[in-house]
């Protein structure tokens, strides 16, 4: 008897367990074997606004190439000084795992004694995912790009300054800068150099075509610098030597309008042949008329 009971309970328990396990067999899978990775960077854009970007991904511990972006996670951006945290903004990660906020040019930051701005991007964390954060230290910088023709030589002039406490400009030293030209899909590097005494000069190549109107967009970018982050500056100028190759693409074999001589020949041939056919048909009608007249004659 008792064994019977056990048997029944065992079966019932098994069925109930099955019921629950099926329920949890939905589309969602556990992310327990994924390590969270959090990256944070800052870009000063050409209109002098500052972009803060956080990149939040999960990396598979077994397959390092399997990276899944975190979606819809709320990231908070702070400006810290000692213990004080000022919230600069919040953003949710996109389907690529990127959360961005843009701060205007006149944004006031708390700077430490060296003039550096401390920034933190943080994901608050919950039961399932631990808190993640990353910190940046960046110095405010002003990058200017000038395109001038000096002594009929097209020159690119890059000037860069940081600011001290009183707001005076301090020229930059020993910072790498790269000059790019904008293409349809990407930017093409045309020069690499170092800013010394706050300036960098470079002679522009004279054979770049630019776009169809001869416009060139020149970029000067400080990339991933430890002190300054990424700083971008751009300018448009009509230094392109684009020459429209005037090719006669009308009335060719592959255009929609054919070469003129084809139309002429075709018309001549067709008119000739069809004129003959019409002549034949006219004569047939004459034969018919004659036959009809003959038939009527005896009657009259």
Partner 1 sequence: MKKNQTEEGGTDRRKFLKLGLMTSLTAIAGASIVTNLAAQEEEKEPEGEVIRLLTPEGKIVEVNASNINKYPEALVAPAESRIGIPDRKFVMVIDLAKCKNARKCVEECQKAHKLDDHQEFIKIQLISNNEEGQPYWFPKPCFHCDEPPCVIVCPTGATFKRDDGIVLVDNERCIGCKFCVTSCPYSARQFNWGHKEKFDDKSQPYSPETGVPAAEGTVMKCDFCPDLLRQGELPHCAKACPMGVIYFGDKNEDIVTNGEETVRFSQLINDRGGYRHLEHLGTKPNVYYLPAVNRQFPLERGFNVDEEIVERYKDVPYVKELKKQGKI
Partner 2 sequence: MNIDTRKRELVKELSPMLEKSSLLSKIWIISLVSIILVGLYAFVLQLSNGHEVTGMRDNVVWGIYIVNFIFFVCLSYSGAFIAGVLHFFETPLKNSIARIVEITTVLSLIIGPIFILLCIGRLDRLYYLFIYSRIQSPISWDIIAILTDLIGCFVYLYLTFIPDLAILRDASKENAEVPNWRKKMYKFLAIGYQDTPTQHERLHKIIRIMSVMIIAMAVVAYSVLAWIFSLTVQPGWNSSIFAPYFIISGLYSGIAVIIIAMYIIRKFYKLEKYITKIHFVAGGVILLIFSLLYGYFTFSEYFSRWFSHKKHDVDLLNTLFSRYFWQFIFANYFGILMPIAILFFKKLRTVKLVTIAAIISVLGIWLNKYLIVVPTLETPYLPIQDTRAEFVHYSATWVEYSLSLTGIAAFCLFFTLILKFVPAIPMSGIIDLEKRKQSKRKKDNQLATEL
Binding site partner of 280, from partner 1, partner 2, none, Cβ cut-off 5-8 A by kind: partner 2
**What CA–CA distance (Å, rounded) separates 68 from 37?**
10
**What CA–CA distance (Å, rounded) separates 156 from 196?**
15
Question: In this structure, how many other beta carbons lie within 10 angstroms of the beta carbon of residue 103?
Answer: 19
Residue 108 Rama label (left phi>0; alpha psi -120 to 50; beta)? beta
- For partner 1, the closer CB: 13 or 275: 13
Only one of the segments 15-23, 107-115, 164-172, 193-201 lies at the binding site for partner 1 (rule: CB under 8 A); that segment is 15-23
- For partner 1, the closer CB: 108 or 245: 245
Please classify residue 243 by burial: count the beta carbons closer than 10 Å to its beta carbon, then call 0-12 exposed, 13-18 middle and 19+ buried: exposed
In whole angstroms, the minimum distance from the beta carbon of 293 to partner 2 comes to 9
Of 171, 193, 169, give the one whose Cα is nearest residue 180: 193
Tokens representing 234?
């751009």
Backbone angles phi, psi at 254, to 5 degrees: -105, 5
Number of residues counted as binding partner 1 (CB under 8 A): 55
Helix (H) / strand (E) element for 109: namely none
Residue 214 as a binder of partner 1 (CB under 8 A): the answer is: no
In whole angstroms, the minimum distance from the beta carbon of 242 to partner 1 comes to 7
Tokens representing 196?
């010394």
Given 83, 277, 298, 300, the residue binding partner 2 (CB under 8 A): 277
Given 6, 35, 61, 68, the residue binding partner 1 (CB under 8 A): 68
- In 185-253, DSSP assigns E strands to 187-195, 199-203, 216-225, 229-237
Residue 268 as a binder of partner 2 (CB under 8 A): the answer is: no
Residue 34 as a binder of partner 1 (CB under 8 A): the answer is: yes
- For partner 1, the closer CB: 2 or 108: 2
In whole angstroms, the minimum distance from the beta carbon of 30 to partner 1 comes to 7
Residue 178 as a binder of partner 1 (CB under 8 A): the answer is: no
Question: In this structure, how many other beta carbons lie within 10 angstroms of the beta carbon of residue 60?
Answer: 14
Residue 257 as a binder of partner 1 (CB under 8 A): the answer is: no
**What CA–CA distance (Å, rounded) separates 279 from 247?**
46
Residues that bind partner 1 (CB under 8 A): 5, 8, 11-12, 15-16, 18-19, 22-23, 25-32, 34, 57-58, 68-74, 95, 97, 123, 126-129, 181, 183-189, 208-212, 242, 249, 252-256
Residues that bind partner 2 (CB under 8 A): 253-254, 256, 258-259, 262-263, 266, 269-270, 273-274, 276-277, 279-281, 283-284, 286-292, 294-295
């Amino acid at each position: 008897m008792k064994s019977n009971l056990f048997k029944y309970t065992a079966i019932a328990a098994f069925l109930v367990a099955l019921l629950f396990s099926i329920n949890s067999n939905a589309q969602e899978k556990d992310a327990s074997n994924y390590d969270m990775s959090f990256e944070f960077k800052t870009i000063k854009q050409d209109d002098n606004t500052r972009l803060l970007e956080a990149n939040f991904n999960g990396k598979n511990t077994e397959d390092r190439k399997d990276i899944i972006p975190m979606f819809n996670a709320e990231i908070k951006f702070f400006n810290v000084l000692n213990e004080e945290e000022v919230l600069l903004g919040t953003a949710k990660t996109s389907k690529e795992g990127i959360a961005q906020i843009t701060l205007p040019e006149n944004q006031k930051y708390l700077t430490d004694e060296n003039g550096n701005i401390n920034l933190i991007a943080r994901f608050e964390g919950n039961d399932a995912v631990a808190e993640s954060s990353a910190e940046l230290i960046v110095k405010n910088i002003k990058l200017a790009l000038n395109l001038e023709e000096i002594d009929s030589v097209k020159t690119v002039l890059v000037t860069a300054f940081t600011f001290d406490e009183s707001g005076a400009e301090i020229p930059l030293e020993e910072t790498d800068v790269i000059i790019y030209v904008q293409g349809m899909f990407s930017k093409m590097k045309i020069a690499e150099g170092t800013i010394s005494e706050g300036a960098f000069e470079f002679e522009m190549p004279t054979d770049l075509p630019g776009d169809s109107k001869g416009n060139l967009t020149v970029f000067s970018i400080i990339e991933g610098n430890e002190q300054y982050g990424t700083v971008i500056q751009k300018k448009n100028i009509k230094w392109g030597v684009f020459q429209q190759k005037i090719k006669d693409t009308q009335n060719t074999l592959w255009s929609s309008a054919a070469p003129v001589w084809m139309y002429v020949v075709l018309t001549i041939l067709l008119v000739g042949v069809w004129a003959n056919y019409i002549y034949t048909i006219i004569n047939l009608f004459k034969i018919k008329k004659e036959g009809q007249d003959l038939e009527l004659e005896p009657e009259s």
